[in-house]
């Protein structure tokens, strides 16, 4: 998969039977158990190594744990025999181990993600498997692996068998003979909907390259007042999907909290409290609707920008730092800047266009016409309330966001 030049990801909704739902839950629980078991062994090993006195019992335990961690698939399965059940996917175990090791590697490289933590049991379910191909196959594709497309409506998954699905693009389905499937994730969200996500790779581009004549470039300024203002003066309004249903969601969550308290007083576990589970589904459905509407909006905006311009320049925003501002944290979370920048990055590769980010320093405070920076000398910096301003040096009148977008584009062109 890694050797193929073009990669793509698809997420399909699947409709499993009751038996298949049971198998998905069993594999999800086993995947979480293996991850947590490896985490527990590593934590115990770390604590035992702190013992400096050469106690024989401690040394023997360290050797046992080190031996198990060398081959955890066999070591954990030998202790917990239920992991050898025929209903469990062997590739699920391999992926759980790989994900745990990847979490450690990420910690060593970044040091901000933290060490791996125990995965809690949640309403959502998820596990990963891999698509395996026979070594004698001349042309591995989406029709002859352990994960394969049977027809336009059915997919074959290991241990689960055939499942009905929807959501595949016709462009992908018409090319299944030259596309390979890699890592596959089977998941269930909080509302009980099941999905399968597949990593695809091919030697040919998944989308046709777009060639704009003449070459066009655009800079975009992201803000909370208006979602986006570009260097051509166009403004995209902020839809504020979360704020539009904030009251309805809060009311549903209060009702959910009351039902949880009632179940607790009656000494009933929440998974057996039917009224609680009904209300939990209502809250999850509202949250899913907000997320889907936001994602659809961001897809439309990002696709339009990439298709119509050869170069798109945006600010490199640090959303994590900006969320520390309690007055703006809700608006920043609702707007989805980080998701938009991610979409622009991968769609630029798909369509053969260019997308770059620049340091946003002084893009708002600088006059595009003369280069004067507000806040220098006797002038004060612009505040969030200043939506229009006049340059004290050259007298040019600016709309704040439009001026910032032009400065962003100029910085992007200069960096190239």
In whole angstroms, what is the distance from residue 229 CA to residue 76 CA? 55
Catalytic residue among 37, 89, 310, 401: 401
The DSSP letter of residue 153 is T
Catalytic residue among 89, 221, 230, 334: 221
- Report whether 63 contacts 125 (CB < 8 A): no
**E strand segments, 55-204:** 125-130, 148-151, 154-157, 161-166, 179-188, 194-202
In whole angstroms, what is the distance from residue 52 CA to residue 255 CA? 54
- Can 85 be counted among the known catalytic residues? no
Radius of gyration, CA atoms only, the chain: 26
Instruction: Single out the residue of 334, 346, 344 nearest to residue 314, CA to CA.
Output: 344
In whole angstroms, what is the distance from residue 365 CA to residue 404 CA? 8
CA atoms within a 13 Å half-sphere pointing along the CA-CB vector of 172: 21
Sheet holding 161-166, edge to edge: 125-130, 179-188, 194-202, 6-15, 161-166, 154-157, 148-151
- Can 230 be counted among the known catalytic residues? no
Q: Mapping DSSP to helix (H, G, I), strand (E, B) and coil, where does residue 209 land?
A: coil
CA–CA distance from 412 to each of 215, 285, 313 (Å)?
Answer: 15, 41, 6
Catalytic residue among 89, 230, 315, 334: 315
> What is the CB neighbour count within 10 angstroms for residue 164?
13
In whole angstroms, what is the distance from residue 141 CA to residue 65 CA? 40
- Can 221 be counted among the known catalytic residues? yes
Helices (H), 245-382: 246-265, 274-308, 319-322, 329-335, 337-351
- Report whether 111 contacts 82 (CB < 8 A): no
- Report whether 411 contacts 371 (CB < 8 A): no
| Catalytically active residues, by annotation | 221, 315, 401
């Amino acid at each position: 998969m890694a050797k193929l030049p073009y990669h793509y990801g698809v997420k399909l909704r699947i409709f499993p039977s009751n038996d298949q739902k049971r198998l998905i839950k069993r594999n999800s629980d086993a995947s979480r158990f293996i991850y947590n078991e490896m985490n527990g062994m590593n934590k115990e090993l770390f604590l035992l190594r702190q013992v400096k006195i050469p106690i024989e019992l401690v040394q023997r335990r360290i050797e046992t744990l080190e031996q198990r961690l060398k081959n955890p698939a066999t070591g954990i399965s030998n202790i917990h025999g239920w992991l050898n059940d025929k209903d469990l996917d062997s590739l699920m175990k391999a992926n759980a181990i790989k994900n745990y090791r990847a979490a450690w590697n990420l910690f060593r490289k970044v040091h901000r993600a933290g060490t791996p933590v125990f995965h809690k049991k949640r309403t959502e379910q998820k596990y990963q498997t891999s698509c395996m191909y026979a070594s004698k196959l001349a042309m591995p594709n989406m029709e002859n692996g352990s994960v394969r497309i049977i027809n336009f409506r059915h997919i074959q998954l290991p241990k689960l068998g055939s499942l009905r699905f929807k959501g595949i693009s016709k462009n992908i389905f018409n090319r299944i003979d030259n596309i390979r499937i890699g890592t596959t994730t089977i998941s269930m969200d909080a509302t009980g909907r099941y999905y399968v996500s597949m990593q695809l790779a091919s030697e040919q581009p998944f989308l046709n390259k777009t060639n704009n004549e003449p070459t066009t470039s655009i800079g975009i300024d992201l803000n909370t007042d208006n979602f986006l203002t570009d260097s051509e003066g166009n403004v995209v309004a902020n839809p504020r999907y979360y704020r539009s249903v904030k009251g309805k969601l809060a009311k549903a969550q209060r009702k959910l909290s009351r039902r949880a308290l009632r179940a607790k007083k009656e000494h009933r576990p929440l998974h057996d409290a039917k009224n609680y589970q009904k209300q939990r589904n209502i809250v999850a459905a509202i949250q899913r609707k907000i997320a889907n509407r936001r994602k659809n909006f961001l897809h439309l905006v990002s696709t339009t920008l990439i298709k119509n311009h050869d170069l798109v320049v945006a600010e490199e925003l640090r959303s994590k730092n900006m969320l520390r501002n309690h007055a703006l944290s809700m608006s920043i979370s609702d707007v989805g800047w980080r998701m938009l920048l991610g979409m622009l990055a991968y769609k630029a590769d798909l369509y053969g266009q260019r997308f770059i980010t620049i340091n946003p320093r002084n893009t708002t405070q600088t006059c595009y016409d003369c280069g004067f920076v507000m806040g220098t000398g006797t002038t004060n910096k612009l505040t969030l309330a200043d939506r229009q301003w006049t340059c004290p040096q050259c007298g040019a009148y600016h709309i704040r966001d439009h001026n910032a977008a032009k400065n962003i584009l100029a910085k992007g062109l200069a960096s190239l």
